Amino acid sequence: MNHRPSTTVILAMTADGKIADERRSPARFGSAADKAHLEEQISLVDAVLFGAGTLRAYGTTLPITNPDWLQQRQERSRSPQPIHIVCSASGKIDPQLRFFYQPVPRWLITTAIGAQLWQGKREFAKILVFETKDKLIQSLDWSEAFTQLKLLGIEKLAILGGGELIASLLKADLIDEFWLTICPVILGGREAPTPVEGIGLSQQQRQRLELLIVKQVGQEVFLHYRLQHYSSQNNRQEKMGQ
């Protein structure tokens, strides 16, 4: 893992496992405590990463405003705000979004075609192109991207959703931890997104987690999990002679 940033997914989820409603509206069901938890987690990292779908839903990102977190970053010689990295294969993001006026550094991870849309523009301080070799589908080479992010000084990365991005990163075995906030609401709906979209895993392929922390604040439960990586799972199974 030393060749890439350590990664933590941070998400709020309904009691029935949804991260948004069927219209994919911004998730507004978390409490003030959940927002403070998200801000604290963001204050601990060098960069945050989110999908273009999440940016299109919210139009904004979450800058750190809590003076304590800002001071702690200063004491650790970190910039006031982590880098906010958007991933978009198409590069099609509305430049009028409020995000582009927020006081945070912005990077884009995209394809060569996506990068062309932002050539000569100032919205993103850095545009990183990581394509898979398959030219027929526009998809990103996440292993290469994460290696480069580490070389660019990003040691700790928070992944803020949505489900499509998380599915890709889980498939590439690039997620180390999850912070899930279970909120006391139900949204239901077949089309409402969950933390991991994509085609899913069979029971045999299931991704195992280790529960590290359970914390209740008011009506919400904060769960901190560590993923058991495929390599460590395999090693363990080999050791157990399975």
Ligand X SMILES: NC(=O)c1ccc[n+]([C@@H]2O[C@H](COP(=O)([O-])OP(=O)(O)OC[C@H]3O[C@@H](n4cnc5c(N)ncnc54)[C@H](OP(=O)(O)O)[C@@H]3O)[C@@H](O)[C@H]2O)c1
Which residues lie near ligand X (CB under 6 A)? 11-12, 19-20, 24, 26-27, 50-54, 57, 87-90, 92, 139-140, 160-165, 168, 193, 197
CB of 117 to ligand X, least distance (A): 10
Nearest to 160 by CA among 16, 27, 5: 27
- Pick between residue 5 and residue 51 the one whose CB is nearest to ligand X: 51
- Pick between residue 72 and residue 147 the one whose CB is nearest to ligand X: 147
SS (H, E, C) 150-171: HHCCCCEEEECCCHHHHHHHHH
- Pick between residue 72 and residue 102 the one whose CB is nearest to ligand X: 102
The β-bridge partners of 11 are: 180
- Pick between residue 92 and residue 126 the one whose CB is nearest to ligand X: 92
CB of 195 to ligand X, least distance (A): 8
Strands 6-14 and 156-159 turn out to be: parallel
CB of 238 to ligand X, least distance (A): 30
Look up residue 137 and give its amino acid.
I
The angle subtended at Cα 142 by Cα 79 and Cα 191, nearest 5°, is 100
CB of 212 to ligand X, least distance (A): 19
